[in-house]
Amino acid sequence: MGLFDKVVKPAVVDDGGALTAPEAFAAIALAAVASDGYLSEEEAQSIPFILSRMKLFKGYRDDMMRRLFDKLLARLQSKGVEALFVSAKDSLDQELRETAFITATDLVLADGVVTEEEEQFLKDLEDKLEISSELALQVIRVMTIKNRG
């Protein structure tokens, strides 16, 4: 027990409760496009399109996807990105964490410009999802090539 343990309470991130795997995956995608501090209509519309092609979201109708993103956007605005990371990490197995990191990197690099905020977001995501630095570097290289054109 430390000297300050009785006086200073440790910081606890209130994550707002557990997310399902699809919610966690979508939360990371939403956080990726909003990581530069701006969520354009085009970016917001691209996420459901990208996710709808995945097995994880098979069976999600447009209205279900809209409700999902309304819930996640409200959580992002009230709890912040850190809370989304905590919830997402606990809801995704390692394989889906890697897939989420790849998808987030693709979304960040899609416009061909990486801001300092976006770069920090990807670094934080790498750390929080426990992605190896080797894999993260490979993903960034491939997604940079993919998004050149």
Count of domains observed in the chain? 1
- Within a domain: 7: no
- Within a domain: 14: no
* Mean pLDDT along residues 126-138: 96
Whether residue 134 contacts residue 101, with contact meaning beta carbons closer than 8 Å, is answered with no
For the beta carbon of residue 54, count every other beta carbon within 10 angstroms: 13
Residue 6 pLDDT greater than 60, yes or no:
no
User: Locate tokens 């996640």: which residue?
Assistant: 72
Segment 66-84, tens digit of pLDDT: 999 889 888 888 888 777 7
Query: What's the pTM?
Result: 0.83
Average of per-residue pLDDT values in the chain: 85
- Within a domain: 4: no
Looking up residue 35, the CATH number of its domain turns out to be: 1.10.3680
pLDDT at 83: 79
- Within a domain: 2: no
Write out the residue range of the structural domain in which residue 46 sits: 21-146
Q: Which of 39-43, 112-116, 118-122 has the highest mean pLDDT?
A: 118-122
* Mean pLDDT along residues 104-126: 92
- Within a domain: 86: yes
- Within a domain: 77: yes
pLDDT at 90: 87
Cα–Cα distance for residue pair 14/2, rounded to 1 Å:
24
Cα–Cα distance for residue pair 134/100, rounded to 1 Å:
16
